[in-house]
């Protein structure tokens, strides 16, 4: 019988939440790695019991953890993330040139076909790959060596590579996103990259022809429709129907077009979810209401979903990796808040209920649908 | 044997108690202690000093015999009491953060 496993990364450890397909009663395991920041955990699509986790600390640096039994036991694997060759410099907040320096792994993306192959998106922005289950990591340096990289600048949260998407038909074709450099795509497994930001606009970038510098917060894709991408920008929700060559704004009637996560319904490629927050200076939901917004027509026309969510005195945020879906027949939608709640909707967003309410601040949520 | 006292998070990472015992060849220096520690407990590599630069992580400090050794030359001999295992060498996380 199908069931779900929710991998939750928080500022003070990881939690694993499990339920049967009804998604009513939950078992809570954790905290794992208590006291450490767990930026992201994600399971392999080909071996769901293989889970990778990014464990970080301002004191002790980066640790990578790997489980081969669905999170029951863990093994620290390789944490040596060394840039390949001269690091060069990027722009800093004050306009000065700053040498690249590894800080942490923001995002782990297991390969779609091989459980021992996994990618890591890191700060300062770079993409690393391991082909031995996380023991050894090599940089795909073509990205950081792109001619534009000396002009990249960090967002307020750091210059992080936070999104890795694969073309379902060919995993050598990938999209990544960096705050605040933008989207880049490769068609040769990461050797060469090109910016993919045409049509994105930002009031902070006066040059209308700028090809990089965009603070992309997240990109999402439905596997059945890989040329259609949805993107949450610093301001604006956008869409591309040509694999990221061109973007257009689909913010429509959203109460705010600022936010972090964006996701696509697992069975409906044109159904998209975002969580608007008030502004870049006020990282909480408008009107004190926790609301997810859903468009069933691929953008522009959005409906508020708040049934079962706090509708007064709610000033939470949902971070870029803290929104996920399962793939049960009646799709479950999940998100975690900076206030430590994890919510589930077992009916595509119409009705919500909390799974847990008092965790440390949630950084990431990933859902595994298990047979 | 050299005695090294670890902070809580490194104890849980290495799955050890408060102190670990290490064989370190004389003369006992901080570099040799770190080399021996990382050889015996590979998961600690990179958590005390940077993999590449070998510099101490900014929020860690090192003490022994009531002295702060954090900024001492890494190849300077450690106190005799540490080298003989009478006193422990302490790795301590800064009291900071939330």
Q: What pLDDT, in 10s, does the model give residues B32-91?
A: 999 999 999 999 999 999 998 899 999 999 999 999 999 999 999 999 999 999 999 999
Q: Which of B51, B95, B97 to mutate to test the interface with A (most CBs of A within 10 A)?
A: B51
Q: What pLDDT was estimated at residue A321?
A: 98
Q: CB of B40 within 8 Å of any CB in chain A?
A: no
User: Looking at beta carbons, which residues of chain A come within 8 Å of B93?
Assistant: 59-60
Q: What is the pTM of this model?
A: 0.97
Q: What is the pLDDT of residues A153-175, one digit of tens each?
A: 999 889 999 999 999 999 899 99
CB A113 within 8 A of CB A162: no
The CA distance from A6 to A294, in Å, is: 22
CB pairs under 8 A between A and B: 47
Cβ distance of A61 and B43 shorter than 8 Å = no
Report d(CA A242, CA A329) in Å as an integer: 29
What confidence tier does B96 reach under pLDDT thresholds 50, 70, 90?
confident
Its ipTM equals 0.94
The pLDDT, as a whole number, for residue A229 is: 98
CB contact under 8 A, A59 and B9: yes
Q: Which residue has the tokens 């302490």?
A: B90
Which of B11, B13, B62 best probes binding to A when mutated, by most A CB atoms within 10 angstroms? B13
| Structure confidence by residue, pLDDT tens digits, A102-112 | 999 999 999 99
φ/ψ of residue B28, rounded to 5 = -80, 120
- Cβ–Cβ below 8 Å for A57 and B9: yes
Q: Could A60 and B48 be called an inter-chain contact, meaning their C-beta atoms sit closer than 8 Å? A: yes
> Residue A206: phi, psi to the nearest 5?
-65, -25
Within an 8 Å CB–CB cutoff, is residue B17 touching chain A? Answer: no
Whether B16 has its CB under 8 Å from any CB of chain A: the answer is no
């Amino acid at each position: 019988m199908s069931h779900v496993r929710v991998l939750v990364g928080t500022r003070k450890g990881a939690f694993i939440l499990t339920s049967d397909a009804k998604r009513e009663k939950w078992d809570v395991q954790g905290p794992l790695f208590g006291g450490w920041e767990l930026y992201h955990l994600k399971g392999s699509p080909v071996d769901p019991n293989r889970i990778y986790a990014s464990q970080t600390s301002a004191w002790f640096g980066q640790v990578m953890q790997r489980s081969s039994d669905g999170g029951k036991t863990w093994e620290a694997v390789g944490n040596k993330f060394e840039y390949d060759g001269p690091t060069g410099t990027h722009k800093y907040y004050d306009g000065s040139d700053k040498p690249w320096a590894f800080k942490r792994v923001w995002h782990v993306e297991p390969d779609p076909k091989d459980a021992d192959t996994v990618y890591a998106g890191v700060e300062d922005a770079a993409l690393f790959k391991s082909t031995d289950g996380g023991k050894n990591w090599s940089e795909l340096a073509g990205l950081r060596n792109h001619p534009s990289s000396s002009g990249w600048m960090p967002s307020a949260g750091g210059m992080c590579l936070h999104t890795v998407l694969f073309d379902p038909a060919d995993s050598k074709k990938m999209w990544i996103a960096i705050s605040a450099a933008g989207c880049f795509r490769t068609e040769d497994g990461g050797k060469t990259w090109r910016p993919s930001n045409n049509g994105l606009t930002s009031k902070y970038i006066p040059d209308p022809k700028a090809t990089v510098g965009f603070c992309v917060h997240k990109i999402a894709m439905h596997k059945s429709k890989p040329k259609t991408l949805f993107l949450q920008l610093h301001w604006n929700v956008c869409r591309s129907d040509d694999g990221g060559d061109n973007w257009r704004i689909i913010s429509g009637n959203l109460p705010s077009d600022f936010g972090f996560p964006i996701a696509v319904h697992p069975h409906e490629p044109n159904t998209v979810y975002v969580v608007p927050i008030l502004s870049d200076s006020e990282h909480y939901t408008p009107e004190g209401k926790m609301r997810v917004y859903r468009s069933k027509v691929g953008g522009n026309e959005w409906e508020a979903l708040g049934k079962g969510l706090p509708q007064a005195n709610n000033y939470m945020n949902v971070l870029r990796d803290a929104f996920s879906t399962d793939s049960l027949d009646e799709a479950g939608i999940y998100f975690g808040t900076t206030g430590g709640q994890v919510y589930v909707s077992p009916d595509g967003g119409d009705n919500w209920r909390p799974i847990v309410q008092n965790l440390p601040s949630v950084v990431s949520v990933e859902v595994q649908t298990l047979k | 044997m050299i005695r090294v006292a670890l902070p809580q998070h490194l104890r849980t990472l290495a799955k050890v108690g408060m102190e670990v015992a290490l064989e370190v060849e004389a003369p006992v220096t901080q570099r040799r202690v770190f080399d021996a520690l990382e050889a015996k407990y590979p998961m600690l590599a990179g958590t005390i000093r940077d993999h590449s630069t070998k510099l101490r992580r900014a929020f860690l400090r090192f003490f022994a015999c009531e002295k702060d050794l954090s900024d001492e030359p890494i190849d300077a001999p450690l106190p005799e009491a540490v080298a003989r295992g009478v006193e422990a060498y302490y790795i301590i996380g800064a009291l900071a953060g939330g």
